[in-house]
Structure 1
């Protein structure tokens, strides 16, 4: 124990337990070692597989061009203790113990990194031929469906639905995408931005049906509310995800309206010595003035560094680090590379850069003259510059900003 720790009366952290072996959990364990944490690091995962990255599941694994996407991490060399295929049932913060099917697991500090789980289409649980796409096992079950070129109905025209439809069309499947809203990506983008994306489906040979709700699924068919029957050798559901936090019931750890763990600006939960990171947690953003729940890969990559820093800093008396990133994600769909940085609301001013009927364009959102978010289609330079400008809180000249021939960074204005 250091003299500083003794003076503060802080018990040394000898054992950090991380629940969840996805990106957020693995990166937390790795960051602890990279930042010099000397104690035990235990990583618990519910799946039996070696920890793996999820984004390639709808691409390489589905199309048979890769067997998996295991993280390139030498857990043994880093002295990270892996417990895979182990289900966590609950946590007792007062006792500093987890409950698992194999018995209790003690911790000094606990990190919640259980991610999110896909929302099931009501009435389809256990129905043959209905698939979700979240885990490696899900992807393995879908691979032969694509290889056999079944007729496929995708429920939901969000990011996952579009990416899977892209892979299915590449495999030569007939694809129909059913969306209850009036447009794709209705939950993520305003109508005028999503509108040009509608034609991407037809251009790829997929059929997009909007204002369409599933009544029920029968063997080989999907029946819509209006009675339409769609041939379906397989049904893939992509209607969203919710934080995987049901196991926290009764723990006293505070959850939000979407079931997410309510972390503070330092990613600490309401329970002592418990942190939360990644898809399972929301955090207050000073930059945007609201609490953010970010279900994207980059959040699961960046947050663990803050968690590790704060676990170690709590022992040394360092001021806790604040987590307030510029959210970022990307999507590859229908031959296009789509990237998004920031966060926007309906009150923000929307500006176009380029022709949305063309192959490359961007959309910017401004709030009181500052760039708050940018969506880039085939314009990665816009995206790279936008992340830095949003981070800096840069003021922008709207007229210059609308000129797609001008670099984004050259459209700044004096505040």
Structure 2
């Protein structure tokens, strides 16, 4: 009898794993389990097209254009995993046990809630299709909104809300936007983006409580709010694995190795739920972005098929906010040298980070050519001339240090 692979999670990572398994020659059974009632769908449009009504009223408009029947993939929706019995190679779900020979964990992540707000009317996360559909009438009514969190999702939602004509205030507990991601010399210039868009940005201000029609701040201030959108991060959807043979990190991520194998025999993990060791950056990475959910399944599928491939990508993501296309590739630390290309007060500029002279990361705002070149240069660990790299008129490929003869 042929072996079967069960994939837990029908988001991008889970769907792509099924596609890759078939594309790489897996002849056994494939069962794809999703906990939502909708056919698998693409997540990036949720904070843009779906919110503003550009994709129609239903999930069909954002679902993946994949014929699961033609792939011979059994798709089961509305199935929630509850326990993993790795020794018996059995997954316990709310619809009964599901046996497997190989298991791929692709459960994604869940939106972090403000303490004490679970189930509170007028408070919304933005992670799932149901979240986006619930927020559409809020935008259509042009309600007065408070967004908690000035991260990527908070900025994207604020952008959509302003396009819809809403009055928007963004509240951030940290002293600046994206404080945990980018240095102050970069994010200070992003403050002006909010102002240009007509969004009030309050930083260094935590939310103390939510009351009917208002948000109470820790400094004693009060903001009127007909609706509150919470964008304060996401956590791996892995709590159901506690106590199993699958080891979890302190951040809740499934601890995969560089082949995307977990600590349980025959179990792999991909996407937002898993971290992996990066030889390129010398640390374990947890990457909550679409590109990781697309790349990881190629490696996982190859190894499920008996291969021995390592996973060590150059992380990449993008964000569209306040009329700007923002891209980031790689991974940097405070110890890396930052080089700015162009004027951050202008419409197009980029920042790169060097470790010694090796390019390890780049942030591009309206400079897609820099990003295209940087991703290739980071992949091959290219060294750059720092002085020449600061000249925005020079292509990055032209400032690569040539090896000594």
TM-score (norm 1): 0.95
Q: Does residue 1:197 correspond to 2:190, yes or no?
A: yes
Matched with 2:4 is 15
Q: Does residue 1:88 correspond to 2:81, yes or no?
A: yes
Matched with 2:332 is 344
Matched with 2:16 is 27
Matched with 1:153 is 146
Assess if the C-alpha contact under 8 Å between 2:216 and 2:222 holds in 1: yes
Matched with 1:52 is 41
CA distance in 2, matches of 1:95, 1:303: 26
Q: Does residue 1:334 correspond to 2:322, yes or no?
A: yes
Matched with 2:369 is 381
Distance apart, 1:36 and its partner CA? 1.1
Q: Deviations over 1:125-180 (max 9, x none)?
A: 11110000000000000000000000000000000000000000000000000000
Matched with 1:322 is 310
CA distance in 2, matches of 1:368, 1:97: 49
Q: Give 4+ residue runs of structure 1 displaced > 6 Å after superposition.
A: none
Greater CA drift, 68-77 or 153-162: 68-77
Matched with 1:39 is 28
Q: Deviations over 1:27-85 (max 9, x none)?
A: 00010011111110000000000100111101000000103410111101101100101
The match for 2:115 among 122, 137, 141 is 122
Matched with 1:9 is none
Distance apart, 1:368 and its partner CA? 1.6
SS in 2 for 1:410: helix
Matched with 2:126 is 133
- Unpaired runs of 5+ residues, structure 1, are 1-11
Assess if the C-alpha contact under 8 Å between 1:13 and 1:108 holds in 2: no
Distance apart, 1:249 and its partner CA? 1.4
Distance apart, 1:252 and its partner CA? 2.1
CA distance in 1, matches of 2:119, 2:80: 21
Matched with 1:183 is 176
- Unpaired runs of 5+ residues, structure 2, are none
Matched with 2:346 is 358
Assess if the C-alpha contact under 8 Å between 1:13 and 1:109 holds in 2: no
Distance apart, 1:13 and its partner CA? 5.8
Assess if the C-alpha contact under 8 Å between 1:157 and 1:238 holds in 2: yes
CA distance in 2, matches of 1:143, 1:21: 24
SS in 2 for 1:291: strand
Number of residue-to-residue matches in the alignment: 399
Q: Does residue 1:276 correspond to 2:269, yes or no?
A: yes
CA distance in 1, matches of 2:179, 2:77: 37
CA distance in 1, matches of 2:207, 2:284: 33
Assess if the C-alpha contact under 8 Å between 2:242 and 2:248 holds in 1: no
CA distance in 1, matches of 2:383, 2:47: 38
CA distance in 2, matches of 1:226, 1:257: 31
Matched with 2:236 is 243
Distance apart, 1:250 and its partner CA? 1.6
SS in 2 for 1:60: coil
Distance apart, 1:295 and its partner CA? 0.5
Q: Does residue 1:261 correspond to 2:250, yes or no?
A: no
SS in 1 for 2:310: coil
Matched with 2:213 is 220
CA distance in 1, matches of 2:359, 2:188: 22
TM-score (norm 2): 0.98
Q: For residues 68-79 of structure 1, what are the structure 2 equivalents within 5 Å?
A: 68-79=61-72
SS in 1 for 2:388: helix
Residues 1:277 and 1:361: Cα distance change in structure 2 (over 3 Å):
same
Q: Does residue 1:407 correspond to 2:382, yes or no?
A: no
SS in 2 for 1:89: strand
SS in 2 for 1:268: coil
